[in-house]
Amino acid sequence: MDRIAHFSNLVDQQPDNILFRFSLAQALVKAGRSADAELHLRRCADAKSDWMIPRIELGKILLSRGQFDEARSILTAALKLAIEQDHEDPAEEVRSLLDSLP
């Protein structure tokens, strides 16, 4: 069973399990299905106010679609979390993404 089918099945069985949702989102992004991943990333970000990674991934999706204002807002929140949580590499990645915004 492929990863998308596997995690889709798990999300169907436990729709409130955000770890399953995040894993599904990652598999979808990897398969080039970022639009399908967006809902799951938003649910993850909404469920945990201190979860940085779903925000970074969501920000990248929004950037790729030219939704710069929303991407800026989400990436700014992700940068704040990265700094607060002392995650240097993600902070640098997010700074670079923010710097790329028009």
- Separation in Å, CA 16 to CA 12, 27, 40, 49, 82: 9, 18, 11, 16, 25
In terms of pLDDT, which residue wins out, 5 or 1? 5
pLDDT in tens, 20-78: 999 999 999 999 999 999 999 999 999 999 999 999 999 999 999 999 999 999 999 99
Give the per-residue pLDDT at 29: 96
CA dihedral 66→68→73→75, nearest 10 degrees, is: 70
Mean pLDDT of 69-94: 97
